[in-house]
Structure 1
Amino acid sequence: MYKEAGGTQKKIKEMLSGGDVRKKVEKFIAKFFIYDQIPANAVASPHFKNMTSEVQRGGEGVQPSTPAQIMGKYLDDEHAEMKTYVDSYRQSWEMYGCTVMCDGWTGPTKMSIINFMVYSRGRAVFLKSIDASSKIKDSNYIYKLMHNVMQDVGRRNIVQFVTNNGSAFVKAGKDIQSKYHMYWTPCAAHCIDLMLEGIGDRPSVKTVITDARFITNFVYNHSWLLAAMRERCGGDIMRPGATRFATNYIALSSLLKHKQGLRELFASHDYVEWKKRLTKVIYRIEELVLGNSFWDKVRGVIGIIEPIYVVLRMVDNETNPSMGLLYPSIQLMKEAIMVKAPNAYKWVHAIIDDRWERTLSHPLHQAAYFLNPKYHYSRNLFEDNSLKRVVHEVYDHLFPDCPGKGTFGSEIVKFRDAVGMFGCHPAVKSRNAMMPCEWWSMYGTDCEVLQRLAVRVLAQTVSSSPCERNWSTFSLIHTNKRNRIGYERLQKLVYCHYNMKLRERLLRSEGRRKAQEDPLDLMTVGQHAYAEDAEDDLVYQWVRSDDLDTSDGRPEPHIAAEAETQGIDVDKHVEQQRSPDEAFDPLTRSPEGSPRQSLSRGTRGGETLSDTETESE
């Protein structure tokens, strides 16, 4: 138990016995971690190291802080320090402009929170959160919140608001855009995830995902098989992603990667002996793993989803501004799908085009594409009249009263012809290497009017994902077991915690110059630890138990009764699970055979669909 340290002077013998002292210190530190259930890897935290250093400097007689001091005085001090850090970016917002991101969330304690963050030039900070639990969250309320944040950040500093696609956020964002000289854009990560959702709803794709889950569920719910799989495959075949459809892609890719190990396992003598002990032998699992049809279908689905997943990773990463990359990335994504899935690209393109044209496409994305030196010169974008028109429209909207309007057109011509600094050797060599907004800041000094537009547009992001990642921070601090914490204190804790996480990420990415983390796996603050129901866990769908059914494949009666109380049609669900596999589009041979046909038509089972049929799907 805790013993208060006295102020006695050390004896020479005690000072010379450094090894024993160190062992004793490490022992008591270990006790703290073991009995207070603190993860052992917390010792790598710089804050832990700073704490131990200061304790050493303090010496004997220094008393630990009380809970009231930590959550009162010292929390206030830390909040003030973090606010100073956040305010240090305001000067940068004046030069590069900024994006205000907002998103709503309801936590496990039913507290409704709306987060606001600010992004500029690869740096994101958490600004504030609003407790909207007692409010009607309609467009008028969201508009008032956006307006208040706009006053705080500075109206002239904001280039755009980025929100989710909720109707109240969309209406409020469009109202802001119509009244002030800034834009509203939807979250690109959310829109691209909806593209994946549309593809995942395709029966042929859904069948492959169901079969793949059947394999992982079977393996992960038999201890011997799981251990044997880890030995042959060199580890697990499952890891989470940030969304359900990203998790599906990662799981399918992992299965295909470990195909050889799984086939060797299910063909081994040990497996044959082990399965003799099963009360119910599932021959379907062997048919899937040892046959070729399933793996061909998995390869086909990956060919469709992989290019979309790459773009999702790009827009979901706030380390580098993505505004100048989205428009060309969508084009490259569609071209890659044509190559990887030549017999399925038509219906996939129809889903992508519908979401792009109906929701995601925006003048800011096109203007950023035109102004990005990486693409402007290599693709001769000046010849595209629609892009030139969009650039003028964006300039008029963001800078309606700029005195340099008369030189705007001539400066675009200088940019096209690489006149002056645009054409110097370092500028030409760094078109692909430098961050586009920094390239303009360095080499656009001869065209100050166009430079101001380019820097402010190219320094922005296209996603509100950092707001969504902050949800897990709220969940970490405000759980059902800790729901008595006041909102003011909760906001201070989240403000400090999340801004510190963003600051640490920035330092790591600057040290490496290019972040190594997978942005979709960056949910480092307890992504799965707070689900009230295991069904909410993204990975659970791939590893859940299959032992809840009777020997004839029917659900156990008490489980079926519970499901029916939740409004689930058990009989319909069972019949759907037993339905035969449908033909898989990506693997059927199209009679025409050419992937370069019109994008307005699709295929089903090798048959060309009419425009009407494609639209109805």
Structure 2
Amino acid sequence: MNISNQTTEQEDETKSLWRYVSKLRKTHGGGNNMIKCSFCDFSFNGSYTRVRAHLLRITGGGVRICANVTPSKLVEFKKLDNEASLKIEYSKKKKVHLPHVSDEGKQTNNNDLNPKLKGSLQAAFNIQARDTLDCEVARMFYSSGLPFHLAISPYYRSAFSFAANTSNLSGYVPPTYNKLRGPLLSKERRHVENLLQPIRNSWNQKGVTIVSDGWSDPQRRPLINFMAITESGPMFLKSVDGSGEIKDKYFIVKHMRDAIMEVEPKNVVQIITDNASVCKATVMLKRFRSLKKGLQEMVTSNEWSSYKEDNVDSAQFVKETLLNDNWWMKVDYILAFTTPIYYVLRKTDTDMATLHLVYEMWDSMIKNVKKVIYHHERKTKAEYSSFFEVVKLILTDRWTKSSTSLHCLTHSLNPRYYSHEWLSEDSHRVAPHLDKELTQERKKCFIRYFDDANVRRQVNIEFANFSDGREDFSDVDSLRDRGQMDAKSWWIVHGVHAPTLQKIALKLLGQPCSSSCCESN
């Protein structure tokens, strides 16, 4: 007669390979059973030691190895076996019997209270039981190495509050290891997915930006995060472990394709991959500049001589540099002309909707960098600056590599850039439909968006009416609100007369232009 294949939870935790065999019957001699492998149907007599040797393909274990265990399955079994070994080691840690709370309390100032009053307080507020629970919770933190900031978690506090204030939970036992990693984890996942469903439902209307970025976890594993971003906020899709993989374009494309299929291609507006960390140098220089006084005091102190003994030349060079006013003027100059660049990078390095702002930021950035450099070189606007041309070339090359037609189209759909307020700020500004580059890139986008020439013609008519303030876009409120309302609100209020263009605008005006939310921090 077969015996049950179910084992106790403790046996499952420390002998995880039992689940891959069947116990046929008890046999004479210790805790041995007649066992049948679920992979190769081989039957043998023994205990868990032989089960382990059979499935992990360990020779010399008194049983033949399983020929049907594949390499991938063997890796899985070894992982389970290692986890079980760790549990066994951990279980060897005996509970330390510390003094009872009642004994500890004798050392407190409670002895100063009137015995009758102290007894009444303890009875009314159950002080001793509360102190005991506090100590038990604290020991859980200390013995398990739990971080103290866990105590700030609202879920930590609500869990204990619910247990303490629910009268019918007498005899309650916390969930076990297996329950936490199994059914409870699945249940919580379903709960989170239900919470995220409203965001998923908005993808078709609002559009989605899929972003990916790489980072390394505490075990130094190279991970790549994939997230879906809408104006409702970022939503985690998956994390890919790149250990042992060649992280070339084919590897990224494969996983990006999977992310697109999960979101559905019709909902995807754009894809943004790993952003280079281009702000670090400026940030470090800003911090270095703020320490000027402290650095100068350091190299002029008596203690500085102790550093000179190690490398006299280097120490002298550092001292002369830090005390040189001309050198600090150069630092100030570098910070001055890189500040506009830093501002744009910081402004766009977010999961907020900034796609419709990038093109104007780029133009303003170039103008502000030129202004600082020309002021420093004491040049007029008509003069030539070789240094500015080098900086501009570098920035232009960066812009060319990272900009897309979507930047131009989204800029063209921002009603603010057609308003009298914006155009009058600078005499050189022109509305987007009068800009040659913007027009060319906008047309490219429309051709890709709309294969049907008739539909594309209708969209062009809608854009003409919008950009020139014609037809239903010519009313006073529509024209006045261009410079007063945010772009998306304007399209919601006034865009109904251009339904196809409105749908595109509402998607594009809610998109970010950075993958910063994908970073581990």
Partner residue, 1:246:
279
Give the deviation of 1:461 after TM superposition.
Answer: 1.9
Give the deviation of 1:333 after TM superposition.
Answer: 1.5
* Residue identity matched to 1:252: L
Q: 2:365 aligns with which of 325, 333, 336?
A: 333
Question: Structure 2 CA distance, aligned partners of 1:421 and 1:13?
Answer: 75
Partner residue, 1:124:
234
Question: Structure 2 CA distance, aligned partners of 1:45 and 1:426?
Answer: 48
* Residue identity matched to 2:498: C
Partner residue, 1:63:
173
Q: 2:201 aligns with which of 73, 80, 91?
A: 91
Task: Name which structure has the greater RCO, CA cutoff 8 Å, separation 6+.
Answer: 1
**CA RMSD of the aligned region, Å?**
3.4
Partner residue, 2:77:
none
Q: Is the 8 A contact 2:225 2:240 kept in 1?
A: yes
Residues 76 and 430 (structure 1), Cα distance of their counterparts in 2 relative to 1, 3 Å cut: farther
Partner residue, 2:447:
396
Task: Give the alignment of 1:174-213 within 5 angstroms.
Answer: 189-190=275-276
Question: Is residue 51 from structure 1 mapped to residue 83 from structure 2 by the alignment?
Answer: no
Residues 368 and 127 (structure 1), Cα distance of their counterparts in 2 relative to 1, 3 Å cut: same
* Residue identity matched to 1:83: E
Q: Is the 8 A contact 2:446 2:456 kept in 1?
A: no
SS of alignment partner, residue 461 of structure 1: coil
Question: Structure 2 CA distance, aligned partners of 1:279 and 1:264?
Answer: 16
Question: Structure 2 CA distance, aligned partners of 1:74 and 1:256?
Answer: 52
Task: Give the alignment of 1:209-288 within 5 angstroms.
Answer: 243=277, 245-263=278-296, 271-272=301-302, 274-275=303-304, 280=309, 282-288=315-321
| Cα deviation code 1:299-345 (max 9, x no counterpart) | 12212332222222122200x21211111112212122112233542
Q: Is the 8 A contact 2:260 2:268 kept in 1?
A: yes
* Bigger Cα displacement from structure 2, 362-371 vs 292-301: 292-301
Give the deviation of 1:441 after TM superposition.
Answer: 2.6
Task: Give the alignment of 1:427-466 within 5 angstroms.
Answer: 428-429=480-481, 431=483, 434=486, 436-466=487-517
Question: Structure 2 CA distance, aligned partners of 1:95 and 1:127?
Answer: 19
Q: Is the 8 A contact 1:315 1:326 kept in 2?
A: yes
Give the deviation of 1:45 after TM superposition.
Answer: 2.3
Question: Structure 1 CA distance, aligned partners of 2:194 and 2:409?
Answer: 34
Question: Structure 1 CA distance, aligned partners of 2:398 and 2:161?
Answer: 54
* Bigger Cα displacement from structure 2, 415-424 vs 302-311: 415-424
Q: Is the 8 A contact 1:323 1:461 kept in 2?
A: yes
Give the deviation of 1:141 after TM superposition.
Answer: 5.1
TM-score normalised per structure 1: 0.55
Q: Is the 8 A contact 1:118 1:127 kept in 2?
A: yes
Q: Is the 8 A contact 1:323 1:458 kept in 2?
A: yes
Q: Is the 8 A contact 1:427 1:439 kept in 2?
A: no
Q: Is the 8 A contact 2:212 2:224 kept in 1?
A: yes
Q: Is the 8 A contact 2:151 2:157 kept in 1?
A: yes
Unpaired segments of 5 or more residues in structure 2? 1-94, 98-118, 378-386, 424-430
Partner residue, 1:407:
458
Q: Is the 8 A contact 2:207 2:268 kept in 1?
A: yes
SS of alignment partner, residue 272 of structure 2: strand
* Residue identity matched to 2:212: C
Task: Give the alignment of 1:395-544 within 5 angstroms.
Answer: 395-401=446-452, 404-418=455-469, 420=472, 425=477, 428-429=480-481, 431=483, 434=486, 436-467=487-518, 469=519, 472=520, 523=521
Question: Structure 1 CA distance, aligned partners of 2:491 and 2:152?
Answer: 39
| Cα deviation code 1:346-393 (max 9, x no counterpart) | 211111112222x11211111111112232332422221432332232
Q: 2:336 aligns with which of 275, 297, 303?
A: 303
| Cα deviation code 1:155-190 (max 9, x no counterpart) | 2111222224xxxxxxxxxxxxxxxxxxxxxxxx43
Residues 147 and 401 (structure 1), Cα distance of their counterparts in 2 relative to 1, 3 Å cut: farther
Give the deviation of 1:112 after TM superposition.
Answer: 5.4
Give the number of aligned pairs: 380
Q: 2:413 aligns with which of 363, 371, 394?
A: 371
TM-score normalised per structure 2: 0.64
Q: Is the 8 A contact 1:102 1:116 kept in 2?
A: yes
| Cα deviation code 1:67-115 (max 9, x no counterpart) | 2222222221222222223332122110111112234566665755443
Question: Is residue 345 from structure 1 mapped to residue 455 from structure 2 by the alignment?
Answer: no
* Residue identity matched to 1:249: T
Question: Structure 1 CA distance, aligned partners of 2:338 and 2:134?
Answer: 49
Residues 294 and 29 (structure 1), Cα distance of their counterparts in 2 relative to 1, 3 Å cut: farther
Q: Is the 8 A contact 1:369 1:376 kept in 2?
A: no
Question: Is residue 159 from structure 1 mapped to residue 202 from structure 2 by the alignment?
Answer: no
| Cα deviation code 1:190-217 (max 9, x no counterpart) | 3xxxxxxxxxxxxxxxxxxxxxxxxxxx
Question: Structure 1 CA distance, aligned partners of 2:433 and 2:359?
Answer: 16
Q: 2:256 aligns with which of 122, 141, 146?
A: 146
* Residue identity matched to 1:251: M
Query: Percent of counterpart pairs with the same letter?
Result: 25
Unpaired segments of 5 or more residues in structure 1? 4-10, 165-188, 191-242, 473-522, 524-617
Give the deviation of 1:286 after TM superposition.
Answer: 3.2
Residues 279 and 448 (structure 1), Cα distance of their counterparts in 2 relative to 1, 3 Å cut: closer
* Residue identity matched to 1:17: F
Partner residue, 2:51:
none
SS of alignment partner, residue 279 of structure 2: helix
SS of alignment partner, residue 506 of structure 2: helix
Residues 2 and 143 (structure 1), Cα distance of their counterparts in 2 relative to 1, 3 Å cut: same
Q: Is the 8 A contact 1:395 1:453 kept in 2?
A: no
